[in-house]
Chain A
Amino acid sequence: MISFQVNKKPASFAGDRNTPLLWVLRDHLELTGTKFGCGIGQCGACTVHIDGHAQRSCITPVSAIEGQSITTIEGLASADGVLHPVQKAWLEIDVPQCGYCQAGQIMATADFLKKHPRPSDQDIDKNMTNICRCGTYVRIRTAIHRAAELAESGE
């Protein structure tokens, strides 16, 4: 039995310890906002925060997260429903097309901005590696800068 926290609530998993966190979230905890894209850590659609750091849950065995705290897209907004600045920026810039990768993009951006509060385009190019098949990158870039502004102004 592996115990951990998901979105500030206790959770546990008693199955195969090698099961990727992605499938534990999706199939067992019914948190389907985290998406399956490639299964090999390439596309980032499965990005979640583990103890505050963006990780690709499709290549993270559940055994590795014993006692750790997971945040998924469903838990990114504050408990009273106030959206995270990255979510606000994504709405304002209207980033999604099909939307499938966007939970992962948002989770990756939220962590990226902690390390690069006012990123340059080069910072974005170096650190943002999630794939968007629809090609929403132009709006993603705009939204990352906007999210940085919103976070700085405390919104």
Chain B
Amino acid sequence: MSGNEARMDLERIDVSRRRFVVTGASIAGGFVLGLPAIGLSNDVVGGEADSEHQIGFFIEIAADGSVIIGSNQPEIGQGVRTALPMLVAEELDVEWSKVSVRQMPLGIVKTADGYAWKYGGQGVGGSTGLTGNWDFMREVGATARQQLIRAAAARLNVPVSSCSTRPGYVVCSSPAAEIPYGDLVAAAARLDLPAESPPLKEMKQYRIVGRRQKTIDAMDIITGKARYGIDTREAGMRYAVIARSPYLNGRVRSFNDTEARKVDGVLDVFKIDGPEPGEPYLILANGVAIVATSTWAAIKGREALQIDWDPGPNASDNSDAFWQQNHEMLKSTGQVVVDDGEFDKAMAEAHQVIERHYQVPFVSHQPLEPQNCYAHVQEDRCHIIAPTQMPSGASRAAAAVTGLPRENIQVDMTRVGGGFGRRLTNDYVAEACMISQKTGWPIKLQWTREDDVKHDFYRPAGLHEMRAGVDGKGKVIAWTQRLVSASKYYRRPNMTEERLWEAELYPDDFPRKIVENFRLEYFHNPIGLPRGSWRAPAHTANAFVIQSFLDEIAVETGQDPLQLHIDMLGEEREMEYGNHGGPTFNPGRLVRLIKFVAARIDYQKQRPDGRGVGLATHFTFGGYAAHAVEVTVSPQGQLKIERIVAAIDCGFAVNPQAVEAQLQGGTIDGISTALGLEITVKDGQVQQSNFHDYPLLRIAAVPSLFETHILPYDDTPTGVGEIGIPSAAPALANAIFAASGIRLRRLPIGDQLQKAMAG
């Protein structure tokens, strides 16, 4: 997620949570921080767990001491189902080995002033799953521990101050006594909550948090028991697929389902109306739904359909024309969105002016679990089971389709086979609801891979013109980025043309305020492709561009790239940062990282021709990362990544095991995308269809020499899901230049090296 959109989403979560915390007592009779007060436990817990053993919404402790902790957030592989319960368990003071995790459903309650969160804000995007729940989850654990202590003190008839805990037990010093938590839960759950939250542990007291904890669901995953959305099977369920318009904004003119209905198992075939061109998306495309008794029958039925498509208004959209237009547009003046200092004057006075163009393509998310959703729409209610990053969005989508009040829409979450931002939108939930509503059946809608490649909310593509003015001493005194892109905010509700740039340029990114005379200029080039948030949104494009350009400035001015980074970033200091990930950005933390990775990879060592090292660093959504990549390039242009060193500063690593995984995965995502991934359009149709022409990286391209390092900073965690990706691609491109002298300014890299070497 990016900039304002991320902020909007976060506000939704934060505001609602505040309301929940502040007004929860008056609207629902007294629950705070997920802990039901006396008399309410049956009401509010009802049906979700055995209230005998439950203390609040999140915690259940059995007589044998085993603990079930609810996880309120979607698990998309980022590790929240492990990390958030770790926070609860730490403060609750239980053994981690006794903990198992239960996925909580979407919890929204209707109140006098709108809908409020029942279990705190739910939704993962913008690397906020951990940070947004850091205080909340610790308070849940600490509050439950406090209630257990109070229940024990009452039972022993001793002052609360004489009781403490050891893992799983309340311990009383005088008289000496130990009571297992399991014996105290029922009494603790009935106690009123004190007005003040209990104190939280200090970092040095942590036994669980800050230590490597393995994925809590790993056993289920490696034995095939973990349930994803696609594994949903409910009584009476039918299977559906949709034939979607291959043309962007195309429509069904007519269709012939005679052959489709002959396919064994096909039950129904009907048209699905999609959005009007230019209007916000509820679903992505017009099409024809096929409902069958099995997934395969539905797929076969779809193959047998004959559909006459009206290509619609985007039938002449072409990627080649898009890029030509981008170059043309740069000849005019765009919307100047930042204009610090005296840019023109500084540029006129510069000793040297460097100008470069970079091209970043459309790319697709492609989580490995294709989109799917179970929906059962009935007259007065609806049940959704979906792999989604935004369960509240699923609820809104279902409400929009069915007209049902949201309190009558139940949304259950499964484990999610990858997010990457694709499942921030719930178009597939809306589709499943449409089909269930039309047929009356419980429906599992299944997308195929081809559906997923051709119908996505793609990462925007853009052409970036970079210009820098450098003084006689090699200091950058003026800087501009002029970007033509297809904005992510295309077709957003309540979006104005003047704000489209906000999704594409995060103005407080490096080097703003470091280079005094600084200008950002934006041009929008519309194209029919839907756009959305793709892991670390505009950071992936801008980090590639800025970090490549910085390397070029160093080369052009005869400076060492590492030294230029260090000189420009400067000392540790908190600079204002108004975009998502703020309120401040400390460039000195990037210096520490880039020096570290440079030292690890032996950056200063002379290397033979054909071998080189590249560096890059970036601040993303509150977290800091740097990459050093070493490559060889053969005389034929064969590229081999020899070694990768990645480092992250996420403040405090709650679960280093998962932070390391995200840094590895983010790095590989960045490299995979840079090497070979691009979505193109011809005659209004997406040209790619599956992994043969959208070639995600395989293990062979990942070097055996691959190091990740977590550099602790302070006691405040940042998110980690998106931090590891942006600096990977520019480090690779800079390494390719160091090895071969070939500067790649257009992504993906594809066969450009072979062509350059041959030419």
Contacts and interface: CB of A to CB of B under 8 A. Distances in A.
B493 interface: no
Contacts of A32: 224, 227, 230-231, 233
B484 to A, nearest CB: 30
Given A42-B690, A134-B368, A134-B418, 13 more contacts: A15-B265, A28-B294, A40-B690, A42-B691, A73-B224, A90-B222, A97-B661, A99-B77, A130-B698, A131-B691, A133-B367, A135-B668, A141-B702
A100 B665 contact: no
A129 interface: yes
Residue with the highest number of chain A CB atoms closer than 10 Å, among B224, B228, B448:
B224
Given A98-B76, A134-B77, A138-B664, A27 B296 contact: yes
A35 interface: yes
Interface of B: 75-79, 214-215, 217-219, 221-228, 230-231, 233, 239, 264-265, 294-297, 300, 366-370, 415-420, 446, 448-450, 657, 661-662, 664-669, 672, 690-692, 696-700, 702, 704, 706, 708
Contacts of B78: 97
Interface of A: 15-16, 19-20, 23, 26-28, 30-40, 42-43, 45, 72-74, 76-77, 83, 87, 90-91, 94-103, 106, 121, 124-126, 128-141
A138 B230 contact: no
A112 to B, nearest CB: 11
Most buried by B among A36, A39, A130: A36
Given A15-B294, A37-B368, A73-B224, A94 B215 contact: yes
A52 B666 CA distance: 35
Contacts of B690: 38-40, 42
B222 A91 contact: yes
Looking at chain A's contact residues, the main secondary structure is loop
Given A37-B449, A121-B704, A134 B665 contact: yes
A106 B231 CA distance: 19
Contacts of B665: 97, 134-136
A144 to B, nearest CB: 9
A94 B219 CA distance: 10
Contacts of B368: 35, 37, 43, 45, 98, 100-101, 131-134
Given A40-B690, A135-B666, A23 B295 contact: yes
A137 B702 contact: yes
A136 to B, nearest CB: 7
B222 A102 contact: yes
B226 A99 contact: yes
A96 B416 CA distance: 12
B449 A38 contact: yes
B373 to A, nearest CB: 15
12 contacts: A20-B296, A42-B690, A42-B691, A74-B224, A96-B215, A98-B415, A98-B418, A130-B698, A134-B665, A137-B698, A138-B702, A138-B708
